[in-house]
Structure 1
């Protein structure tokens, strides 16, 4: 599907969602406004019948990231024998794409599917729920949540927002984006106008780049006209749909700001607590299934998309080491500053950083060495 047909088939709702798709990061420095519309009809839970509404930050056209919510809803229905149904709503149907936290917190909807880092304007701590520069990769983040202290710590954090959270998918490591000109030295980052918003923009700014916050439906035109010098999104499968390779051939890697971007299911606390023990287990199991399926879809579909992009002229390039080193330096400095000023950040990041240190030690001898060999072997 090309860029124009994607936008045409997505309609206004789809474009609104595109602004917030993971790796796209429409700026969330200001909290999303509370939904202006009256709340939808309340959930029905009479006898053995339960009906929930889930609002998504992602348009249906992005079938991998939006698809995780559909997987969740289908599994809940199957496990309950049709007695527990969840309807998934695209951005704008019930609330705006970036209004998920407010809607779930206030009980406008029972559930939401979104990237936590969209809401770092409320508290920078939200960013760790999705991805921070030079953070945990997807497997490490899942390990921290399920067998480390991640879920426990974030449950405590989200309690102040009346939310119960569950991991709801991961994109895996993302690409570094599309650049009109090559990046050969750190000096090439100075003044670079790049469409990268959200929390990653803080680090980019410290490196001399100029983060730009451009709606998803306008990125292609801005890149084509030279209004911006570069843009990032997610990876090959989604990037191909938006057609960036037609106007910027230099495709950089890795997306050091998103080594494994997680999406979450947010459940209204009162709605979750009203469930029976059996239905709580259904929600938990459906969420973990959707979490697994989303990354499986990206991992399965990205390779073929990358081949097509390269065949079409995309030039794959690694970020220079000097750029990576400076980005790492500035990221760590930012985290120190946040730890000194934000108690919520400090509490969670202290545990996160300790877990990351041990994970990198372990992966150094196992995953990294195995992967390095396999990627150089002639199979």
Structure 2
């Protein structure tokens, strides 16, 4: 059975679900796998997505593939998850591709680019050749790659001072991973890469002056509003950002075809779960942050965003030019982005602008 490519954020189809759950149990050896993820145990959405995945696989396989999930620090620290899977400590891992960029530079381009693609565009890129390109990068680590979540548009970060211009980014210490962090570093920011569980105490102690995590719901869960006054948008650094699910390649190749199909379907389920949960919960969390907790919500100025964008353009080209696979992946993303820009403008963007006009809608009072 040929593995289906992941479905976009519409979620797992009913026919696909039936196909992987209808097969009768077969008397075979039961496989017991471990999945390590790079987020704190019990952390909402990013921590529960691997649990949802594992539950689905166990049920859909009729118990032939049982997966036990461990959070960051339970077996290895967050950033050692990939090494643990490659080395056989666990069969599977879950995180974000740029966590592993020190091992394969091209991986930092896979989660999304600064000023890059929307969720829909990024999902479309994956099914239009992006999956194969991503797998070329993960092949260097001897793991099988799956998309298993998308944050949607992120926020720009938490700061202890106002960012009135790009010059205010120079000299501060900030946690921002991936290519966004590279852009800020080029603009004079000192980047400190830390796993999620260390961010709040680092802000409290003054070890860092600012941090970027994901968005309102997950940021509020960490309590950043208790230690920072200013919350900036838009999340220029990640217009959308994926979670990766990866499987030790030897273990993957040893799976029967039907279990491979079930794992692939579980990744599709996790992909839609993350995006849908964040889309549903971010609005109320943002309201609570601003209205109940007094967070000062600020937009980066156009001049600041333009300078960030100009810096990003130069930096992305420089980074890709030093590595052939990075160049191949970046060129593919930029080409796809350019091809979709016009249609996104006259479809998604135009609808959002129309929706914001001053009209009455089913009794709704607009702010």
Band of TM-score, shorter chain: 0.7 to 0.9
- Cα 1:96–1:46, aligned 2, differ >3 Å: closer, same or farther? farther
- Cα 1:335–1:245, aligned 2, differ >3 Å: closer, same or farther? same
> Which of 302, 309, 314 is equivalent to 1:328?
309
Deviations 1:162-210 (A, max 9, x none): 1110101111111111222222222222223323244322110212222
1:58 and 2:25 matched: no
| Equivalent residue number for residue 208 of structure 1 | 188
1:194 and 2:164 matched: no
Deviations 1:1-59 (A, max 9, x none): xxxxxxxxxxxxxxxxxxxxxxxxxxxxxxxxxxxxxxxxxxxx982422211111111
| Equivalent residue number for residue 77 of structure 2 | 96
Using the alignment, how far apart are the partners of 1:224 and 1:49 within structure 2?
Answer: 47
Using the alignment, how far apart are the partners of 2:333 and 2:319 within structure 1?
Answer: 14
1:162 and 2:142 matched: yes
- Cα 1:111–1:205, aligned 2, differ >3 Å: closer, same or farther? same
Deviations 1:236-290 (A, max 9, x none): 1111122222332221101111111100110111111111121111111111011
| Equivalent residue number for residue 277 of structure 1 | 257
| Equivalent residue number for residue 16 of structure 1 | none
Partner SS, residue 93 of structure 1: coil
1:85 and 2:66 matched: yes
Unpaired runs of at least 5, structure 2: 1-25
Is the Cα contact below 8 Å between 2:144 and 2:246 reproduced in 1?
yes
- Cα 1:70–1:375, aligned 2, differ >3 Å: closer, same or farther? farther
Using the alignment, how far apart are the partners of 1:266 and 1:211 within structure 2?
Answer: 27
| Equivalent residue number for residue 346 of structure 1 | 327
- The aligned runs of 1:141-156 (5 Å cut-off) are 141-146=122-127, 148-156=128-136
Is the Cα contact below 8 Å between 1:138 and 1:262 reproduced in 2?
no
Using the alignment, how far apart are the partners of 2:61 and 2:204 within structure 1?
Answer: 50
| Equivalent residue number for residue 317 of structure 1 | 298
TM-score, normalization by structure 2: 0.85
| Equivalent residue number for residue 159 of structure 2 | 179
Unpaired runs of at least 5, structure 1: 1-44
Is the Cα contact below 8 Å between 1:164 and 1:267 reproduced in 2?
yes
Using the alignment, how far apart are the partners of 2:73 and 2:227 within structure 1?
Answer: 30
Using the alignment, how far apart are the partners of 1:73 and 1:99 within structure 2?
Answer: 21
Is the Cα contact below 8 Å between 1:117 and 1:131 reproduced in 2?
no
TM-score, normalization by structure 1: 0.83
Partner SS, residue 65 of structure 1: coil
The aligned length equals 334
Using the alignment, how far apart are the partners of 1:228 and 1:95 within structure 2?
Answer: 24
Using the alignment, how far apart are the partners of 1:270 and 1:352 within structure 2?
Answer: 29
RMSD: 2.0
Using the alignment, how far apart are the partners of 1:304 and 1:82 within structure 2?
Answer: 38
Is the Cα contact below 8 Å between 1:130 and 1:263 reproduced in 2?
yes
Tell me by how many angstroms 1:66 deviates. Answer: 1.3
Using the alignment, how far apart are the partners of 1:249 and 1:122 within structure 2?
Answer: 36
